[in-house]
Amino acid sequence: MIGLKKPDILILGAGYGGIMTAVNLEKKLGVDDANITLVNKHDYHYQTTWLHENAAGTLHHDKTRIQIKDIISPNKVKFVQDTVKEIKTDDKRVVLENGELTYDYLVVGLGFESETFGIKGLKEHAFSIRSINAAREIREHLDYKFSQYNNTQREDLLTIVVGGAGFTGIEFVGELANRVPELCKEFDIDRSKVRIVNVEAAPTALPGFDPALVEYAMEHLERKGVEFRIGTAIKECTPEGIVVEKDGHVEEIKAATVVWAAGVRGNSILDASGFETMRGRIKVEKDLRAPGFNDVFIVGDCALIINDEINRPYPPTAQIAIQEAEVCAKNLASLVKGNNELEGFTPDIKGTVCSLGEDDAIGVVGDKKIFGKTASVMKKVIDNRYLYKLGGPSMVLKKGKLKMF
Ligand code: FAD
Ligand code: NAD
């Protein structure tokens, strides 16, 4: 306990890392132990892992977002809707758009931003799947471009380019492949006129993933009309489309919709606040604190954790963010109760499942490969399990993916 005053715990961001830290803290601390405050830009938490469905228009965003008041108890956690601008660690202050908050302990869970690697024109002309508002804009844009086609006959209106065939790119083209036939029906368009082009710079889609499962994914998506451009790098984005390069050969692809899904970085607020980062992510200590700070914890995509077995960072995932939140809450509760011996964090990777649309997926769970309906059901089980952790059975019933078969 710091002095006689109840310590102030301030959590920034209500993504997987932030909201689960709050949910876990509610269980570990009583109202007399600490003042807990959660700050988030919006009054809702959203499931980032479903945003590609909202962007494609296969799932409404109201299913993806959950009011924060329906998750946390106002008696235990005070919620402040505001935008974080800067963290001033010297005097334990956080500057918000509409005010300021101080802390004794800080948890940073401000999530990811799209990484454009300085590629010309991407920031100006490409969309990215990073929030409810960004996903909603992509969905509306697609509708609008399809609606324009019959009045103009411009083929680029029906060309959708997705940059990157990592997990986000593949999951998004999987949804698009299901959505496009619906759009065609709605706007009187022949399906054969629509192109979904997935451009990947590496020599394979889903680099590093099981090759047999990658082959399954590509085959199934190609059958639904997705064109892959593998070993092809996006070099520039213009108002007319993209410029790509493969083996020294440069080509322009005209497209009215370009969605950049080729990389993420941590929130730039960390750089702006003077933390040492690698692409916006802080390489945290074992106990999840920022190096040199005994009062600042980092969770989720802002934290960089090294996989000692291969000496490379773990890919940032919701799975890891949720696990970090448990350890972070445990460590905060220890500090508040005067115990300075903190727990170390090691990710426990249960597996990876990549969806290929509503009823198809691929995955590795333990050492087992799964695909098709089995993998798709597994993905829904994982999603529902998270909702259960967040708000018990009623949350699963309200927001869960209950149509399994
Ligand atoms: P986020 O989920 O990014 O949440 C950050 C929160 O902070 C948001 O609520 C945001 O509004 C808020 N915020 C941001 N800036 C500010 C500010 N300045 N002020 C106030 N509030 C702010 N991972 C998996 O494990 N499995 C999957 O199947 C999977 N699928 C994915 C699908 C897609 C389409 C994408 C894009 C990612 C997917 N991931 C998946 C990765 C996963 O979503 C991220 O690792 C995870 O969202 C990180 O959680 P987080 O809590 O760090 O941040
Ligand atoms: P990523 O970094 O995993 O993949 C980006 C892809 O874009 C890579 O394959 C890369 O080679 C390619 N790329 C980079 N520059 C390019 C260029 N100029 N032109 C063409 N291709 C280029 O990013 P992501 O897919 O957005 O995933 C972000 C994080 O979220 C990862 O950690 C991922 O594991 C996680 N995620 C997980 C799931 C899941 O578990 N189902 C789904 C989505 C995202």
DSSP letter for 343, please.
P
Q: What is the whole-number distance in angstroms between the Cα of residue 91 and the centre of ligand 2? A: 37
- Separation of CA 98 and ligand 1 centre (Å): 23
Determine the average pLDDT of the residues in 185-205: 98
Average the pLDDT over 344-353 and give the result.
96
Query: Fold identical between 8-41+82-114+264-349 and 124-256?
Result: yes
Give the pLDDT confidence of 202-223 residue by residue, as tens digits: 999 999 999 999 999 999 999 9
Please write the tens of the pLDDT for every residue from 237-263: 999 999 999 999 999 999 999 999 999
pLDDT band at 3; cut points 50, 70, 90: low
The 10 Å Cβ neighbour count of residue 111 is 24
Atom of ligand 2 nearest to the CA of 164: 7
pLDDT above 90 for 200: yes
Q: With a cut of 80, say whether residue 4 has pLDDT above it.
A: no
Once rounded to an integer, what is the mean pLDDT over residues 18-25?
A: 98
Of the candidates 18, 41, 10, 5, which has an alpha carbon nearest to the alpha carbon of residue 302?
Answer: 18
What is the pTM for the complete model shown? Answer: 0.97
93 C-alpha vs ligand 2 centroid, how far in Å? 34
CATH architecture of 8-41+82-114+264-349: 3-Layer(bba) Sandwich (3.50)
Per-residue model confidence (pLDDT) at position 237: 98
Return the residue matching tokens 């209950």.
402
| pLDDT surpassing 90 at residue 334 | yes
Residue 404's pLDDT is 81
Q: Would you say the CB of residue 168 lies under 6 angstroms from ligand 2? A: yes
- Pocket probe for ligand 2: among 47, 200, 305, 371, the residue whose CB has the most ligand atoms within 8 Å is 200
Q: Are strands 241-246 and 249-254 parallel, antiparallel or unpaired?
A: antiparallel
To the question of domain 124-256 being in CATH 1.10.1740.10, the answer is no
Q: Which of 264, 281, 382 to mutate to test the pocket of ligand 2 (most atoms within 8 A of CB)?
A: 264
The domain spans of the chain are 8-41+82-114+264-349, 124-256
Q: Residues 37-54: what's their mean pLDDT?
A: 98
SS3 329: helix
- Active site residues per annotation: 171
∠ CA 314-132-94, rounded to 5°: 70
Percent of the chain with pLDDT over 90: 98
CA 153 to CA 330: how far, in whole Å?
59
Long-range contacts of 317-321 (CB under 8 A, 24+ apart): 317/352, 318/16, 318/48, 318/49, 318/386, 319/347, 319/349, 319/350, 320/347, 320/349, 321/15, 321/16, 321/17, 321/20, 321/109
Residue 201 in contact with ligand 2 by CB distance below 6 A:
yes
Question: Would you call 353 helix, strand, or coil by DSSP?
Answer: strand
What is the distance in A from the centroid of ligand 2 to the CA of 56?
17
What is the pLDDT confidence band of residue 405, given thresholds at 50, 70 and 90?
confident
